[in-house]
C-alpha cells in the first residue's frame, strides 16, 4: 500500500507541474481546470492510500526481498457460469438504443434489466448452485 500511495502522490506532482505549464502556455481555461481537478483527485487517492498503509500489515509489495508467490492465495469467489450478464447486456443495449431511436424501447428493455438483476442477485439461492 505504501508504494501505491507514493505513486499517486508523484503522479499528482507531475500533473500539477503540467497544469501550470499548460495553463501559462495555452491560456485555455477548460483544459487547465481539468488538469487541476486531475491533480486534486490524484492527491486524494494518494493520501487515502498512504493513510491506509499505516493501518494495515505490510504487504509483499512493500518488501524489496519478496517473491511473486508471497502474495499468492485465494483471489475470491466467482460464479462458474451465469446467463444473467447476457440478459443485462441485451437490456442495457436496448435501453441505450431507446435514447437514439425512441423512448418506447425502454418498455422492452426494462423487463430484461429487472429479470437480469433479479436473477443475478438470487443466483445462488436456487438451482444446482444453491449454497444455503
pLDDT one-digit tens code per residue, 92-131: 999 999 999 999 999 999 999 999 999 888 888 877 767 6
What's residue 45's pLDDT? 96
* Per-residue CA distances from 128 to 1, 22, 86, 88 (Å): 40, 59, 20, 22
3-state DSSP assignment of residue 35: helix
* Per-residue CA distances from 82 to 23, 57, 108, 123 (Å): 50, 36, 22, 8
Q: Is the pLDDT of residue 71 over 90?
A: no
**Mean pLDDT over residues 83-91, rounded?**
92
**Mean pLDDT over residues 6-22, rounded?**
96
Number of neighbours of residue 129 by Cβ within 10 angstroms = 12
Grid coordinates standing for 98? 431507446
Q: Is the pLDDT of residue 6 over 80?
A: yes
**Mean pLDDT over residues 76-104, rounded?**
89
d(CA 67, CA 48): 26
What's residue 7's pLDDT? 94
d(CA 36, CA 38): 5
What's residue 65's pLDDT? 83
CA–chain centroid gap for 79, Å, is 20
Range among 17-21, 53-57, 73-77, 80-84 with highest mean pLDDT value: 17-21
Percent of the chain with pLDDT over 90: 60
Amino acid at each position: 500500500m505504501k508504494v501505491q500511495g507514493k505513486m499517486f502522490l508523484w503522479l499528482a506532482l507531475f500533473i500539477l507541474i503540467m497544469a501550470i505549464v499548460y495553463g501559462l502556455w495555452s491560456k485555455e481555461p477548460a483544459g487547465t481546470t481539468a488538469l487541476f481537478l486531475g491533480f486534486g483527485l490524484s492527491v486524494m487517492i494518494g493520501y487515502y492510500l498512504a493513510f491506509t498503509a499505516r493501518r494495515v500489515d505490510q504487504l509483499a509489495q512493500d518488501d524489496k526481498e519478496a517473491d511473486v508467490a508471497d502474495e499468492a492465495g485465494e483471489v475470491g469467489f466467482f460464479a462458474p457460469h451465469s446467463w444473467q450478464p447476457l440478459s443485462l447486456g441485451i437490456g442495457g443495449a436496448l435501453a441505450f438504443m431507446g435514447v437514439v431511436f425512441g423512448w418506447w424501447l425502454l418498455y422492452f428493455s426494462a423487463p430484461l434489466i429487472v429479470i437480469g438483476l433479479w436473477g443475478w442477485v438470487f443466483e445462488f439461492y436456487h438451482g444446482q448452485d444453491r449454497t444455503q
